[in-house]
């Protein structure tokens, strides 16, 4: 354990520490970020009205557009000369969201990342191959800093160049792989087609996978392919980057490092704070961030939280799996469809390579849902492959879950584009009105 005195705090101690830091941070944001001063004023409140954690609900939310509106320097509470690093979100459309760090912020982030690795069982003996993208994306440097803070060895392959990636994995005797789950799935496939036996040729024991939603089926597949234990890591650039929450060795929910993050779960429609155990949108306040002290930041990520003690001895509350983003939900012909529902169905059918799929929605007047999915390479090459029969079965199983009929297209193995970063499973061709 990296910081046992913090990691093993009891719930009351955590709440006390959070309250002290929260009250200080609210004042700090109010005094140093004009946007917050203005918002507080509009609400008719000052930091004096925030006396306890329970007063948090009085503070207005911060949303992604607030960061965009303050492009390029974000919601800066310090002079630019005190900023030592910036990152920008992977947002592909519109204005990127820029985030900034002081020296102390970077130190905090490194420490959180070291804890994140360590909670998953990584030690300084490990050789960690970091296949997240280095650069503006927080994944690369975040996972990199953590390796060094832990004192393990970094193999900074970054994303891409998959052949060299696999060679390094074998030659360096990599024991830990850090990557998006999509890229890990692709690496498993590529390893086999390059003639490796992942269980024999590689030395992997732990995987640090995050930056996008992934299913239990994907976890099972990655674990079986590489013979490793796959851990879910959650974060986002607005909250330093990766390392907000991680699954410990018990793989039963993601511990939120609650000395640094105050989490609330809200009803995404009304903004009302929900009681423990209710599913809603995660809202975070960073408790010590210097450069960019976000208060009540709405993530759009849907999940439930539990404060129950974990078998690992930690009381830091756990996210019981991210259910996806509120804006991931598709409305097809009036029916709500989550891409993760489709993924579950596809991954459960052994005759498919269910991780390689694409959802296409078309429609001028009536919406049409197409699901393209690759067939499992072995099954595809076998005599038993009957395209029409399998297609019908997939369509039936999807219909049972979605309550609407999707048209399924079975593709030969390797047809869909592979990703090195986050997967893009949805193509919506409908004209936005």
Could you say which of 237, 304, 340, 358 contacts ligand ADP (CB under 6 A)?
Answer: 237
89 binds, among Zn ion, ligand ADP, none (CB under 5 to 8 A by kind): ligand ADP
- Give the nearer residue to Zn ion in terms of CB position, either 223 or 251: 251
Q: How far is the CB of 305 from ligand ADP (least distance, A)?
A: 14
Could you say which of 4, 72, 91, 151 contacts ligand ADP (CB under 6 A)?
Answer: 91
What distance in Å separates the CA atoms of residue 230 and residue 209, rounded to the nearest whole number? Answer: 7
Q: How far is the CB of 73 from Zn ion (least distance, A)?
A: 37
Q: Hunting for tokens 């779960």 — which residue is that?
A: 265
Q: Which range of residues in 163-171, 219-227, 229-237, 246-254 is near Zn ion by CB under 5 A?
A: 246-254
By CB under 6 A, the residues from 309 to 338 that bind ligand ADP are 322, 325
Q: What would the x/- binding string for Zn ion be over residues 314 to 353, using CB under 5 A?
A: x---------------------------------------
The site that binds ligand ADP (CB under 6 A) totals a number of residues, namely 17
Could you count the other beta carbons within 10 Å of the beta carbon of residue 389?
11
Under the criterion CB under 6 A, does residue 218 sit at the interface with ligand ADP? no
- Give the nearer residue to ligand ADP in terms of CB position, either 235 or 339: 235
Full DSSP string of 175-221 = -EEEE-HHHHHHHHHHHHHTT--HHHH----EEEEESS---HHHHHH
Under 8 Å between Cβ of 9 and 17: yes
Which bin fits 237, alpha (ψ -120 to 50), beta or left (φ > 0)? alpha
Q: What would the x/- binding string for Zn ion be over residues 248 to 277, using CB under 5 A?
A: x-----------------------------
DSSP-based three-state secondary structure for 5: helix
DSSP-based three-state secondary structure for 240: coil
Q: Which range of residues in 55-63, 218-226, 247-255, 281-289 is near Zn ion by CB under 5 A?
A: 247-255
Under 8 Å between Cβ of 312 and 250: yes
Q: Is the peptide bond before 72 cis (omega within 30 degrees of 0)?
A: yes
Under the criterion CB under 5 A, does residue 312 sit at the interface with Zn ion? yes
- Give the nearer residue to ligand ADP in terms of CB position, either 39 or 298: 298
Q: How far is the CB of 257 from Zn ion (least distance, A)?
A: 12
DSSP-based three-state secondary structure for 46: coil
Under the criterion CB under 6 A, does residue 421 sit at the interface with ligand ADP? no
Helix/strand/coil (H/E/C) assignment for every residue in 94-137:
CCCCEEEEEHHHHHHHHHHHHHHHHHCCCCCCCEEEECCCCCCC
What distance in Å separates the CA atoms of residue 116 and residue 211, rounded to the nearest whole number? Answer: 14
232 binds, among ligand ADP, Zn ion, none (CB under 5 to 8 A by kind): ligand ADP
Q: Hunting for tokens 């557009």 — which residue is that?
A: 65
Q: How far is the CB of 13 from ligand ADP (least distance, A)?
A: 27
Give the tokens for residue 273.
């704070």
What distance in Å separates the CA atoms of residue 183 and residue 175, rounded to the nearest whole number? Answer: 17
Could you say which of 206, 236, 265, 402 contacts ligand ADP (CB under 6 A)?
Answer: 236
- Give the nearer residue to ligand ADP in terms of CB position, either 40 or 357: 357
What one-character DSSP code corresponds to residue 414?
A: T
Q: What is the CA radius of gyration of the chain?
A: 22
248 binds, among Zn ion, ligand ADP, none (CB under 5 to 8 A by kind): Zn ion
**In sequence order, what are the beta bridge partners of 167?**
none
Q: Which range of residues in 45-53, 109-117, 206-214, 364-372 is near ligand ADP by CB under 6 A?
A: 206-214
294 binds, among Zn ion, ligand ADP, none (CB under 5 to 8 A by kind): none
Going through 237-276 in order, the beta strands assigned E by DSSP cover: 241-247, 254-256, 261-266
Could you say which of 213, 243, 253, 317 contacts ligand ADP (CB under 6 A)?
Answer: 213
What one-character DSSP code corresponds to residue 71?
A: T
286 binds, among Zn ion, ligand ADP, none (CB under 5 to 8 A by kind): none
Q: List residues binding ligand ADP (CB under 6 A).
A: 89-91, 210-213, 232-237, 299, 301, 322, 325
Q: List residues binding Zn ion (CB under 5 A).
A: 248, 310, 312, 314
């Amino acid at each position: 354990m990296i910081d046992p005195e913090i990691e093993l705090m009891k719930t009351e101690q955590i709440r006390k520490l959070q309250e002290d830091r929260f009250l200080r941070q609210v004042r700090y944001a109010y005094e140093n970020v004009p946007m917050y001063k203005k918002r507080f004023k509009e609400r008719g409140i000052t930091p004096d009205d925030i006396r306890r954690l329970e007063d948090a609900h009085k503070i207005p939310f911060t949303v992604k557009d607030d960061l965009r509106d303050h492009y390029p320097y974000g919601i800066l509470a310090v002079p630019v000369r005190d900023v030592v690093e910036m990152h920008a979100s992977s947002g592909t459309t519109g204005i990127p969201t820029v985030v900034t760090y002081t020296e102390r912020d970077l130190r905090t982030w490194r420490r959180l990342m070291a804890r994140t690795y360590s909670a998953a069982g990584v030690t300084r003996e490990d050789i960690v191959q970091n296949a997240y993208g280095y650069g503006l994306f927080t994944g690369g440097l975040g996972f990199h800093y953590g390796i060094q803070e832990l004192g393990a060895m970094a193999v900074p392959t970054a994303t891409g160049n998959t052949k060299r990636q696999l060679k390094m994995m074998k030659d360096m005797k990599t024991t830990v792989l850090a990557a998006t789950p999509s890229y890990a799935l692709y690496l498993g496939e590529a390893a086999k087609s390059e003639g490796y036996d992942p269980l024999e040729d590689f030395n992997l024991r732990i995987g640090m996978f995050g930056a996008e939603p992934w299913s239990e089926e994907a976890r099972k597949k990655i674990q079986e392919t590489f013979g490793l234990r796959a851990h879910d890591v959650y974060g986002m650039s607005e909250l330093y980057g990766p390392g907000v929450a991680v699954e410990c060795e018990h793989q039963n929910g993601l511990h939120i490092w609650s000395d640094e993050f105050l989490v609330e779960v809200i009803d995404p429609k009304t903004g009302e704070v929900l009681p423990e155990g209710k599913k809603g949108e995660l809202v975070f306040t960073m408790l010590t961030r210097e450069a960019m002290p976000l208060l009540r930041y709405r993530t759009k990520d849907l999940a439930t939280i539990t404060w129950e003690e974990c078998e690992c001895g930690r009381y830091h509350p756990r996210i019981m799996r991210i259910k996806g983003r509120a804006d991931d939900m598709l409305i097809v012909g009036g029916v709500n469809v989550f891409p993760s529902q489709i993924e579950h169905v596809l991954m459960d059918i052994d005759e498919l390579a269910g991780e390689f799929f694409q959802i296409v929605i078309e429609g001028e007047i009536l919406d049409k849902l197409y699901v393209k999915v690759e067939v499992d390479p072995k099954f595809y090459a076998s005599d038993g492959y009957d395209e029409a029969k399998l297609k019908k079965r997939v369509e039936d199983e999807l219909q049972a879950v979605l309550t609407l009929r999707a048209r399924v297209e079975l593709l030969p193995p390797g047809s869909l584009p592979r990703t090195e970063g986050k997967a893009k499973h949805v193509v919506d061709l409908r004209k936005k009105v």
